[in-house]
Amino acid sequence: MTALLIRRLVWMALTLWVVFTVSFFLMRAVPGGPLDQERQVDPQIKANLMRRYHLDEPLWRQYVRELGNVCRGDLGYSFRLADFRVNEIVAQGLPISASLGIVALGFALSLGLSAGILAAVRRQTLLDRSLMMLATLGIALPNFVLAGVMIILFVFLWPLFPAAGWGSLGQLILPGFCLGAPYAAYIARLTRTGMLDILGQDYIRTAAAKGVPGHAIVLRHALPGAILPVVSFLGPAIAGILTGSLVIEQIFAIPGLGAHFLEAATQRDYTLAMGLVLLYTALLYTMNLLVDIAYTLLDPRVQLE
């Protein structure tokens, strides 16, 4: 385990360095810059701002300076939110986006696993076909379209939930469901496929022949092996939930990292965009590592190497 963690940390550092390098040069290759504004700025003021943010230095020196700051954990000041450091913006927005992601992941797992198990147990029935049709619809339907439908139904027609905002659990129900529904559809299909494969194994038939109750066969014997594909899917899915929350946070006016990420992209805020890109990269790599560890807990035959 220690050797695995050391290797993964080394690869994570290399991955972050590659992502930093590519992002650094791509952002500066795009025409325009963070100090370009619609209103004309006095040349002396612009020169002072360029000097403050070291944009007047050669590109290689900017790269070395920013790489050194990132290695020390200092992401610098935001260009558009000049009074705030990127670390402070991330510290304020990450718990909000994480809360929305946890709610969305809860919906995805509970709905997806339940639908997949029921469809596998009742295979080739009307329930199976109906659940898989809903899963296909959930995969094909973008979450922002689903968000519009949910707002019309449960805000205007049946006012059960608030339309937007942040501060209570009720304000997370609709955005969490809209964000987690597509992933619930994927999990349902993966769970059904895994359950059908496991339910045909010899040890499942042996357990049934010994008189083990049906629910015990499904939950205790079949489910741990059937959810291995789901565990593999959860690594990128969790990162996708966090990055996919950009649009959902805008629709439901949730003050998470999504608004900052879109603002950084449109306003060419180099430091804030770089900080969020590195954050999402680190989260994705960490999730994949946790998935590999979870594999060994669910299936002892799987070796970490």
Task: Looking at the structure, tell me whether residues 109 and 218 fall in a common domain.
Answer: yes
Task: Looking at the structure, tell me whether residues 169 and 256 fall in a common domain.
Answer: yes
pLDDT in tens, the chain (305 residues): 677 778 888 888 898 999 999 988 888 887 766 666 655 666 676 677 677 777 777 888 888 888 888 888 888 888 777 678 888 888 888 888 888 888 898 998 899 999 988 888 888 889 889 988 988 888 888 888 888 888 888 888 888 888 777 777 888 888 889 888 889 999 999 988 888 888 877 777 787 787 778 778 887 877 877 787 888 788 778 777 776 677 888 888 888 887 777 777 777 788 888 888 888 888 888 877 777 777 667 666 655 55
Residue 81 lies in a domain: no
User: Which residue range(s) make up the domain with 30?
Assistant: 2-71
pLDDT of residue 141: 83
pLDDT of residue 232: 78
Residue 77 lies in a domain: no
pLDDT of residue 18: 92
Residue in this structure with the two tokens 């705030």, named with its chain if needed: 84
> Can you give the C-alpha Rg of the chain in angstroms?
24
Residue 78 lies in a domain: no
Task: Looking at the structure, tell me whether residues 23 and 143 fall in a common domain.
Answer: no
pLDDT of residue 244: 62
Q: Which of 71, 102, 119 is the last residue of a domain?
A: 71
How far is Cα 177 from Cα 107, in angstroms, rounded to an integer?
6
Task: Looking at the structure, tell me whether residues 195 and 112 fall in a common domain.
Answer: yes
Split into its structural domains, the chain has a count of 2
Task: Looking at the structure, tell me whether residues 173 and 67 fall in a common domain.
Answer: no
How far is Cα 178 from Cα 31, in angstroms, rounded to an integer?
36
pLDDT of residue 21: 92
For residue 80, give the nearest of 44, 39, 36, 46 by alpha carbon: 36
Task: Looking at the structure, tell me whether residues 41 and 143 fall in a common domain.
Answer: no
Which CATH number covers residue 179?
Answer: 1.10.3720.10
Residue 111 lies in a domain: yes
pLDDT of residue 137: 86
Task: Looking at the structure, tell me whether residues 129 and 278 fall in a common domain.
Answer: yes
Task: Looking at the structure, tell me whether residues 114 and 243 fall in a common domain.
Answer: yes
Residue 304 lies in a domain: no
How far is Cα 192 from Cα 246, in angstroms, rounded to an integer?
30
* Residue 177, both tokens: 């469901």
Task: Looking at the structure, tell me whether residues 174 and 41 fall in a common domain.
Answer: no
How far is Cα 214 from Cα 208, in angstroms, rounded to an integer?
7
What's the angle, vertex CA 7, arms to CA 4 and CA 12, rounded to 5? Answer: 120
Q: Which of 71, 99, 123 is the last residue of a domain?
A: 71
Residue 269 lies in a domain: yes
Task: Looking at the structure, tell me whether residues 101 and 56 fall in a common domain.
Answer: no
Residue 305 lies in a domain: no
Residue 76 lies in a domain: no
pLDDT of residue 299: 63
Tell how far CA 95 is from the center of its chain: 13
Task: Looking at the structure, tell me whether residues 241 and 106 fall in a common domain.
Answer: yes
Enumerate long-range contacts of 29-38, CB under 8 Å, 24 or more apart: 30/268, 32/268, 33/268, 34/79, 34/80, 34/267, 34/268, 34/269, 34/270, 35/79, 36/268
Burial tier of 169 (Cβ tally within 10 Å: 0-12, 13-18, 19+): exposed
Task: Looking at the structure, tell me whether residues 183 and 136 fall in a common domain.
Answer: yes
Residue type (1 letter), 127:
L
Where would I find the H helices in the chain? 2-29, 43-52, 59-71, 86-121, 126-140, 143-151, 170-199, 202-209, 214-216, 223-226, 228-251, 257-267, 270-298
